[in-house]
A and B are shown apart, each in its own frame.
Chain A
Amino acid sequence: MRMSPSFTLRAAVAAFVMLLTVPASLAQQPIKVGIVTLLSGPAAGPFGVPARNAAELTAEMVNAGTVPAPYTQKGFGGTPIELVIIDEAGGPQKQVAEFRNLAPRVDIVIGYISSGDCLAIAPVAEELKKLTILFDCGTPRIFEDASYKYVFRTGPTGTMDNVSVALYLVERNPNVKSIAGINQNYAWGQDSWADFENAMKTLKPGIEVKTSQMPKLFAGQFGAEITTLLGSGAEVIHSSMWGGDLEGLVLQGAPRGLFEKHKVILSAGEPAINRLSTRIPDGTILGARGPFGPFAPDTELARWLKTNYQDRYQVPPNYASFKIAQAILGVKAAYEKAKGAGSAAPDQDKIIAALENLTFEGPGGTVKMSLGKGHQAVMDAAVGTTKVEGGQLKMVDVVRYPAEKVNPPDGVKSEAWIKTGLKK
């Protein structure tokens, strides 16, 4: 084909115009947010994938400017955000490698469900000076054993989960005399049980611990443990199980009368509601690791997440979904605070300064970055009891505990705080 002179001219003009527009499009470069969540493995179903879904939904609606107040501005301060999603599976060693590869490609990293990954990533984020928001992992060790400038956690620690269920239990059964536990034998299960056991010993000195069953993680079969628990004579059974293990415990324990004979506490039971639903026996005490899911306050932000998530994914959002939405909105709040009225994009140090000690609204309610020198969030805790009404699982007798009542003061380690009387 021979090109006509006019075509060549037009092409040249078009190329020139494109060159002119390059700087403009550079200024509109999106803010890249790395999202690290479990996309494979046993924790992907209950936590990782609901978190990824909520992250995608939140990012899309933040960019469209359709999130309720105070997040109505499009993107982060007018600049759109773009997610770079990677899988958290593979263990801390692999995650450190992936974090080092991810950090230069993104502006902010939001991620990590496993406490082991969080502990390994925090010093690396500090070394690389990359703003990193941990959104879900529970261990309080991260900001109690070290202090960081570039690392934040916008979700509450695991401490309040077990302190709040202990408070709830003692308020309802003031004469409780004995407890027992069944927890998965790994850091989460061990820490949860230790927190609950110590909190109960503080609240009810002289309480008897009948047995602590620690089956292997992902064992799935708990016949022997259930027998031991049934024979233990304990009034209350505590479990921090999640995922397939929790389903196994409920499905194998309920027919044998475990839930009738004992008061059962599932401190992280909320994500199982969607799958087990009415098969969770009435009267089970349930926690959601914060005011999430069915415990979310009746605010416009909570309704926004619940409705939109339900519409898109046909299931209600669970606490992992709430927590990642909360992390993204927290960064948005800090970014916009740092940007102020000016038009220039704030640098990382300004965003960090804005996020430190920030109080912001999430779909689960007010989040205060008040521990770990302003880097660790606290929130109110909520606990409820299950009841099947009209073929639907409902949470009744829901109690909210103010954040200050279920979290240690800044600078005090959770373990010591629980043992020395849970004082404000």
Chain B
Amino acid sequence: MKALAAAAVAFALLIALALLAPQWLVFMAMLALAKGVVVLGLVVLMRTGLVSFGQGLYFGIGAYAAALLSHQWHIADAAVMLLAAAAAGGLLAALLGLLLARYRDIFFAMLSLALSMILYGLLVKSAALGSTDGFNLHARTFFGIAFASGMERRVFLIAGSACAVVAALMVHRLLDGHWGRLASAVRDNELRVSYLGASPYRVVYFNYLIAGTLAGLGGALAALAVGHVDPETTYWTTSGEFVFIAILGGTQSIMAPFVAAAIFETLRTIASQYAPNVWQMSLGLAMLAIIMFQPAGLWSLAERWRRSA
């Protein structure tokens, strides 16, 4: 009930933002939301103790699925793009999960990284898709309704908010119940879970599927916001960025990925504007500070504040 109320408040705030904020803020919120959705999936995976350095694979698949719809088949409906991207991410994760769910720790991380770099290599070699230059995409309708001029990104943000809120609620329900405890148990002692009669493989597989679907959705949200796709979306630095955001926020809360993604985008923009020569270092220092002083993520600050209040 409390989660539902929080979700309703967040959704209302995001709609207000989408309708009232200046365009640049709408865009940044959209990008933060897209990354938040991907990181939400990563957090689900982290509950089982697995870190994927290859979420860029699904992020890129989602982005290219959305873009190809408009580019190859001339379907320019944002809703169709979002659904297709989530489906594409989910399908690929269902396939690759069969293999990846067998691996743990560094092997899982490296294998996921390798798979995303294979897609990167394929995209770079495909001159028809613009190679490293990528190509533009245009969404002109949402569920068949054409956008008023200048409203596209505001509509995208509302649609993205709806997706994100629904996804967050579903993940919250899932992790709050039996499944979430099972996931933590897999992380803590997999052997014991097997002896209790549950299948760790199934838990990991299913969580990987969720992470892939959400990353696909996030990829389409980002592609809609940016209006351009390129292989950079599948590159390991993009995947690393998602892990960065997950660590920045911490894995305890469903809200944390979104808050952390917003902080990350703001931090990066401020660093780019005011320290154009050392913006990467500024981000790196922020990362170091988090790991040294708040190893459980920024969300632990909120938790501590709530407990003391």
Partner-binding segment picked from B47-55, B126-134, B158-166: B126-134
Residues of B within 8 A of A188 (CB): 132
A98 touches B269 (CB 8 A): yes
Residues of B within 8 A of A102 (CB): 273
> How many residues of A sit at the interface, in one of the four size bands?
35 or more
B268 touches A119 (CB 8 A): no
- Closest CB in chain A relative to B209 CB, distance in Å: 25
A93 touches B222 (CB 8 A): yes
Residues of A within 8 A of B268 (CB): 94
B24 touches A100 (CB 8 A): yes
B28 touches A39 (CB 8 A): no
- Closest CB in chain A relative to B111 CB, distance in Å: 21
Of chain A, the residue at the smallest CB distance from B232 is A91
Residues of B within 8 A of A115 (CB): 133
A187 touches B130 (CB 8 A): yes
B227 touches A86 (CB 8 A): no
Q: Is A29 an interface residue (CB 8 A)?
A: no
Query: A214 vs B211: C-alpha distance in the bound complex, in angstroms?
Result: 35
Residue-wise, chain A 9-40 has the 8 Å CB interface mask toward B (1 for contact) of 00000000000000000000000000000011
B232 touches A186 (CB 8 A): no
Query: A191 vs B130: C-alpha distance in the bound complex, in angstroms?
Result: 10
Query: A194 vs B127: C-alpha distance in the bound complex, in angstroms?
Result: 10
- Of A93, A101, A141, A191, most buried by chain B (CB within 10 Å of CB) is A93
Interface residues of A in 71-116 (CB under 8 A from B): 85-87, 89-94, 96-98, 100-104, 115-116
Q: Is B226 an interface residue (CB 8 A)?
A: yes
Q: Is B190 an interface residue (CB 8 A)?
A: no
Q: Is B184 an interface residue (CB 8 A)?
A: no
Query: A185 vs B228: C-alpha distance in the bound complex, in angstroms?
Result: 21
Of chain A, the residue at the smallest CB distance from B228 is A120
Residues of A within 8 A of B238 (CB): 91
B131 touches A97 (CB 8 A): no
Residues of A within 8 A of B225 (CB): 96
- Of B226, B265, B280, most buried by chain A (CB within 10 Å of CB) is B226
A185 touches B124 (CB 8 A): yes
B226 touches A87 (CB 8 A): no
- Closest CB in chain A relative to B207 CB, distance in Å: 27
- Of B22, B227, B233, most buried by chain A (CB within 10 Å of CB) is B227
Interface residues of B in 110-167 (CB under 8 A from A): 124-125, 127, 130-136, 150
B232 touches A93 (CB 8 A): yes
A120 contact from B24, B124, B230, B273, Cβ within 8 A: B230
Of chain B, the residue at the smallest CB distance from A87 is B276
Q: Is B272 an interface residue (CB 8 A)?
A: yes
Residues of A within 8 A of B273 (CB): 86, 98, 101-102
Query: A91 vs B240: C-alpha distance in the bound complex, in angstroms?
Result: 14
B136 touches A123 (CB 8 A): yes
Query: A39 vs B272: C-alpha distance in the bound complex, in angstroms?
Result: 11
Q: How many A-B residue pairs have CB under 8 A?
A: 103
- Closest CB in chain B relative to A282 CB, distance in Å: 34
Q: Is B38 an interface residue (CB 8 A)?
A: no
Interface residues of B in 242-276 (CB under 8 A from A): 265, 268-269, 272-273, 276
Given known contacts A91-B230, A92-B232, is B27 in contact with A100 (CB within 8 Å)? yes
B276 contact from A86, A91, A127, Cβ within 8 A: A86
Given known contacts A39-B276, A123-B227, is B269 in contact with A97 (CB within 8 Å)? yes
Residues of B within 8 A of A170 (CB): none
B228 touches A96 (CB 8 A): yes
B265 touches A119 (CB 8 A): no
Of chain B, the residue at the smallest CB distance from A86 is B276
A116 touches B134 (CB 8 A): yes
Of chain B, the residue at the smallest CB distance from A96 is B226
A128 touches B23 (CB 8 A): yes
B24 touches A119 (CB 8 A): no
Given known contacts A39-B276, A119-B228, A185-B125, is B134 in contact with A92 (CB within 8 Å)? yes
Q: Is B298 an interface residue (CB 8 A)?
A: no
Residues of B within 8 A of A191 (CB): 127
B227 contact from A87, A124, A185, Cβ within 8 A: A124
Residues of B within 8 A of A278 (CB): none
- Closest CB in chain A relative to B178 CB, distance in Å: 38
A190 touches B230 (CB 8 A): no
Q: Which 5 A-B pairs have the closest CB atoms?
A: A120-B228, A91-B232, A187-B131, A187-B133, A186-B132
Q: Which A residues form the contact surface with B (CB < 8 A)?
A: 39-40, 85-87, 89-94, 96-98, 100-104, 115-116, 119-120, 123-124, 127-128, 139, 141, 146, 185-188, 190-191, 194, 217
Q: Which B residues form the contact surface with A (CB < 8 A)?
A: 22-24, 27-28, 31, 124-125, 127, 130-136, 150, 222, 225-228, 230, 232-233, 235, 238, 265, 268-269, 272-273, 276-277, 279-280
Q: Can you offer 9 A-B residue contacts whose CB atoms are under 8 A?
A: A92-B230, A97-B28, A101-B269, A115-B133, A120-B134, A120-B227, A127-B150, A186-B124, A217-B124
* A98-B272, A120-B134, A124-B227 known, 17 other contacts, Cβ within 8 Å: A39-B277, A40-B280, A86-B273, A86-B276, A91-B232, A92-B228, A97-B27, A97-B31, A100-B27, A101-B24, A101-B273, A104-B22, A120-B227, A185-B124, A187-B127, A187-B132, A191-B127
